[in-house]
Amino acid sequence: MLNSHQILYIRGMKYILFSISLFFISFGFSQKFINAYTGSYHLDVDATNQIMIVKGITSAEEKIPDDIRKQMESITLKIKKGSIILNMLGQEREMLFSDRSSKKTKGVCDLVLTQEDDKKVQEKYLTLIVLKDGKIQLKSEAENADMDNFVWVKIE
């Protein structure tokens, strides 16, 4: 027969196990907005150039030199659960994020970038936007950021 202390201990353990289970279940559902877009992408040079022409950054008559095109074609983006890795000209930059539903109209989700320090700073995030043919863009919350011009195609 169990005494009252043992019964209380067993009940307490049930609540602790239940709480831990809920934590792990909710953790499993975190990053749910980005899941469909995880994978490796390469830069769509022509679509990126078209955006730059529309913005007036480059001219429509201007042909991309072959060496520049080759460098642009080597740019890759990897979206993983909790981080994006941009590989540009041999330099790899990883940015950690948590995702949420998008604040922007055309956005699928926002990738809220993890800040290096804990100081009160303005939230920085990238909005994932789906274009035609499964292409994507990551647009910064800041106006006219360079990253906004890039169009990405998933590597199959």
Q: Rounded CA gap, 136 and 131, in Å?
A: 5
Output the pLDDT for position 104: 85
> What pLDDT band is residue 153 in, cutting at 50, 70 and 90?
very high
Q: Indicate yes or no: pTM above 0.85.
A: no
Q: Which residue has the higher pLDDT, 141 or 22?
A: 141
- Helix (H) or strand (E) holding 6, with range, is helix 4-29
Q: Rounded CA gap, 132 and 52, in Å?
A: 18
> Residue 25: pLDDT above 60?
no
Report how far Cα 21 is from the mean position of its chain's Cα atoms.
Answer: 27
Strands 83-88 and 136-140: unpaired
